[in-house]
Structure 1
Amino acid sequence: MTSLPNLLRAASKLKYEHADGEYIDFYPEPEFEAPEETRRWFMAWTGNPIADYSPFLVFGGDGTGGRAAVWRVDGEKPIEDQPIVFFGSEGELGVVAANSRAYIRLLAGGIGPYEAIAYEGLQRPVHESFAKLASDNGIDLSSDLWEVVRSAQAAFPNFEAHIRALCS
C-alpha cells in the first residue's frame, strides 16, 4: 500500500474544527485507502465495473460520503506533486488543488475538498493549525485562496469530462 506523503500525513493528524466551532467538512485517513476499497467505491460512483480506478489514491472524505483523492495523472511526478480531486456523494466533481502544498494552503484558509468544489468564493477565518503547518513547510499564505482552486482547475481542464465519460 502506498503511504501518504508527509504533508498529507501531517494534515491527517490535525483537528479540522476551528476554535470558533466552525469546521472543515473532511475526515482524513492516516493512510491511503486500500486499492480494493477504492475499486468498489469507484465502480459504484461511476456505475462502470471496468472504469480504471488505479490513478486515484483516496485519503479521506466528507460527512456525506464524498471522497478526496490524489489523482496520479503524471507518472513522472511524485505523489505530493499530483493534483488533489474530489468526488461528491451527489455527483459533485472537480480538481481541488494542483498538489499537496496547494491543498494545505486551502486547509489553512478553512476550505476543504468539498467546500472547494461546492462553495466557490466561501470566506472563512484562517485555520490556525493548518496555517502553522503551511508556515512550517514554507507554503505561501498570501496567495489568493480561490486562485489556488481556479489555477488547479485550469491546469487540468479535462478532469471532469474524463470522469463523466467513464460513467455509465
Structure 2
Amino acid sequence: MNEHAFPPALADLAKYGSSSHPEFQMYEEFEAPEETAWWFRLWTGNDEVDGREFRFFCMEGAGGYTGLWLTREGRPLEAQPVVYLGSEGEIAVMASDVGSFLWLLAQGWGPHEVTEEREPGPVDPDLVRIAERNAPGGRREPAAIVRQAREEFPHFTEVIGAMCR
C-alpha cells in the first residue's frame, strides 16, 4: 500500500472533490513529507521542525492546511484528530477523528466556521451521504464536535506555539 494513500473515509471524501462551502480542496493523497516539511518550516519560521507529526490532506482557498495530527500512538489514521493551520496563523483542533470531521463538513462547517465562528453553510446532501457511509451514527451538532475536540486536545495551540520562532 502507498504510504501516502488515504484511509477509506478520506478516499471517499477525495472522490467528492472540492467544495466552496465549507471551502476545501482535497488532495489526491496525503501531502509528501518533503512538501510538508517545506511548508511547515515556512509557517513556523523554524528550520528545525519538519511537521512529521502531520498528514495534510486538503487546503482551503487562503492557503491554510487541514490534516491529521498523529498524536494517538498506535491508533489508525481515521482515529487521529483533524487540525487546521491557517495562512494567517489560525490554529485549531477541528474534530477528534475523521468521522467527526466528515460530519462537520456535511453540516456546512469548515476551518473558517471553526476558527472565526462564521455562520455555517447549508447542509450538503452529498457530504451527508459520505459521512453516513463512513461514520454511521456519528452525527452530532457541529459545536459539540468542536467542543469535544478542544476538550480532548486542549494543549494543541501550545504544542504548535512551542514550534514557532
- Structure-1-length-normalised TM-score: 0.90
Cα gap change, 1:68 to 1:138, in 2 (>3 Å): closer
What's the counterpart of residue 145 of structure 2? Answer: 148
Secondary structure of 1:60's aligned partner: strand
What's the counterpart of residue 24 of structure 1? Answer: 22
Cα gap change, 1:161 to 1:46, in 2 (>3 Å): same
User: Shift in Å at residue 5 of structure 1?
Assistant: 1.1
Cα gap change, 1:138 to 1:72, in 2 (>3 Å): closer
Cα gap change, 1:113 to 1:6, in 2 (>3 Å): farther
Contact 2:22/2:121 (<8 A) preserved: no
Secondary structure of 1:13's aligned partner: helix
User: Which amino acid in the other structure matches residue 164 of structure 1?
Assistant: G
Q: 1:51 aligns with which of 11, 34, 49?
A: 49
State how 1:10-159 maps to structure 2 within 5 Å: 10-17=12-19, 23-119=21-117, 122-140=119-137, 142-159=139-156
| Structure 2 unmatched ranges of 5 or more | none
* Larger displacement relative to structure 2 (59-68 or 140-149): 140-149
CA shift digits 1:113-158 (9 cap, x unpaired): 33322226x3332111010112223433652111101110110000
In structure 1, distance between residues paired with 2:135 and 2:79? 15
In structure 1, distance between residues paired with 2:75 and 2:34? 24
In structure 1, distance between residues paired with 2:17 and 2:4? 23
In structure 2, distance between residues paired with 1:75 and 1:123? 33
In structure 2, distance between residues paired with 1:112 and 1:87? 12
User: Shift in Å at residue 103 of structure 1?
Assistant: 0.5
In structure 1, distance between residues paired with 2:120 and 2:138? 14
Q: 2:157 aligns with which of 146, 151, 160?
A: 160
| Structure 1 unmatched ranges of 5 or more | none
CA shift digits 1:79-114 (9 cap, x unpaired): 110000000000000101100100001011011233
- Structure-2-length-normalised TM-score: 0.92
Secondary structure of 2:71's aligned partner: coil
In structure 2, distance between residues paired with 1:125 and 1:76? 36
In structure 2, distance between residues paired with 1:145 and 1:44? 31
C-alpha RMSD over aligned residues: 1.6
Provide the aligned length of Structure 1 versus Structure 2: 163
Q: 1:2 aligns with which of 4, 12, 24?
A: 4
